[in-house]
Amino acid sequence: MTFSPLVEQLLESLRVLPGVGPRTAQRMALHLLERDREGGLRLSQVMAEALDRVGYCRRCRNLTEQSLCSICEETRRSDRTICVVESPADLMAIEEAGGYQGRYFVLHGHLSPLDGIGPEDLGLDALEKLVREEAPDEVILATNPTVEGEASAHYIAEQLRPLEIRLSRLAYGVPMGGDLEYVDSGTLSRAFLGRQAFSD
Amino acid sequence: MTFSPLVEQLLESLRVLPGVGPRTAQRMALHLLERDREGGLRLSQVMAEALDRVGYCRRCRNLTEQSLCSICEETRRSDRTICVVESPADLMAIEEAGGYQGRYFVLHGHLSPLDGIGPEDLGLDALEKLVREEAPDEVILATNPTVEGEASAHYIAEQLRPLEIRLSRLAYGVPMGGDLEYVDSGTLSRAFLGRQAFSD
């Protein structure tokens, strides 16, 4: 015994959402059908509109339905640094951390030849053009500290090197508030290599 | 700093889903926008169609977009028992447990005078009419073992008593596979009251 065909379709479709298995899909579908049809209808409309209209900022490739994203439009931010990130989620994490006042460039992925993701998919030509035009003081390569993120950072560094702009990478080290006992050995040895003079 | 207005609207709308907070909403929205626009568009269409078209089975009030639900249409099931449940989720749980071969009636809630939920909201007139017309051997009052579920079962029992049909309630007792140490005292004393002769 199953639900009616249309309810089954809804259960199936809900599973495109990350972290939603059969059980959660059922709870969500029944919640919408039994208790919040209005909210569900609004969600379906907003979802269709967002998926149709949200594209990339023409300058930094951040997600936006406008031509320029809100960060690129903000006049008070510095044009002197561009921070290259893999995803809009990474950009938001940096914004939430606070402190960074420059611009961004979003790759929407990392180099992954096996998956057929090359430089053109990451908009690296657009990045080079942007750096050439705006001539910032520094480009921060804030791709993830993973094999693919490292490889992407190296590739971008090679591409931008002729422009003679300062390139940097986020510091590696032990995370704040952690216990050394639980830090993996790779991180720990990078933290040793990158140790800094102690100052009060 | 926030996302663009339309992405923010999507984050906000996703929170109508049960168990979805700001963090999960962001993960879902970015997943759809970055990795599965097609799946998201299909979800928004199916959701709109389901919320628009899925209603109640005219016989048992189970959720369906058809006139009769699949359980009511199944000719091999017995018409001799009607099991009254609070929600389609309860119905599915009983179906998944297996063993029950009769029909159902779905209340879509329980009596709750404080929330303004009275007998008419639970379709109790339709239930009485159904029982009168089909004259089953037994009506199983499988509302939840909560104060409101109990109250609803008692109310329905009063309403159906003149029809002189056998009324029953699910057995109370200790759950299978549990440890007595962790069973609450209310359940434990009900299990003592309902103890049965031991048989090999």
Residue pair B88/A34 in contact by the 8 Å Cβ criterion: yes
Q: Nearest CA of chain A to the CA of B142: how many Å?
A: 19
Q: Which of B14, B31, B70 sits opposite A4 (nearest CB)?
A: B70
* Residue B107 within any structural domain of the chain: yes
Calculate mean pLDDT across residues B87-116: 94
Residue A111, domain extent = 76-169
**So what's the pLDDT on residue B53?**
97
Which H or E run contains A130? helix A124-134
The 10s digit of each residue's pLDDT in A56-84 is 999 999 999 999 999 999 999 999 999 99
pLDDT more than 90, % of chain A: 82
B45 touches A at CB < 8 Å: yes
pLDDT in tens, B119-153: 999 999 999 999 999 999 999 999 999 999 999 99
- Mean pLDDT, chain A, rounded, equals 93
Domain-located, residue B19: no
Answer yes or no: is A36 within a domain. Answer: no
**What SS3 state is found at B181?**
helix
Q: What is the predicted pLDDT for the residue at A1? A: 58
User: Which pLDDT value is given to residue B182?
Assistant: 86
Kindly state whether residue B181 falls inside one of the protein's structural domains. Answer: yes
- Tell me the CATH number at B168: 3.40.1360.10
Residue B1: per-residue pLDDT = 58
Rounded to the nearest angstrom, the gap between the alpha carbon of residue B70 and the centroid of all alpha carbons in its chain is 16
Residues of A in contact with B4 (CB under 8 A): 54, 63-66, 69-70
The span from the CA of B113 to the CA of A165, in Å, is 71
Considering only CB atoms, which chain B residues are within 8 Å of A37? 51
A132 in any annotated domain = yes
ipTM, two decimals: 0.87
- Domain membership of residue A148 (yes or no) is yes
- Model confidence over A6-53: pLDDT tens digits? 999 999 999 999 999 999 999 999 999 999 999 999 999 999 999 999
- Tens of pLDDT, residue by residue over B157-176, are 999 999 999 999 998 888 88
Distance of alpha carbon B194 from alpha carbon B192, whole angstroms: 5
Token pair for B93 = 């749980």
Alpha helices (H) in chain B, listed in sequence order: 5-14, 22-35, 37-53, 70-73, 88-97, 124-134, 147-160, 185-193
What's the structural domain count of chain B?
1
Q: What is the mean pLDDT of chain B?
A: 93
Put simply, the answer to whether B63 touches A7 (Cβ < 8 Å) is yes
Q: What spatial distance separates the first Cα and last Cα of chain A, rounded to whole Å? A: 69
Give the least confident one: A76-80, A176-180, B31-35: A176-180
Structural domain includes residue B185: yes
Which position has the token pair 């990795």? B35
Assigned domain for B5 exists: no
B23 and chain A: CB distance < 8 Å anywhere? Answer: no
- For residues B33 and B9, is the Cβ–Cβ distance under 8 A? no
pLDDT at A182: 86
Chain B 85-144, residues with CB within 8 Å of chain A CB atoms: 87-89, 92, 95, 108
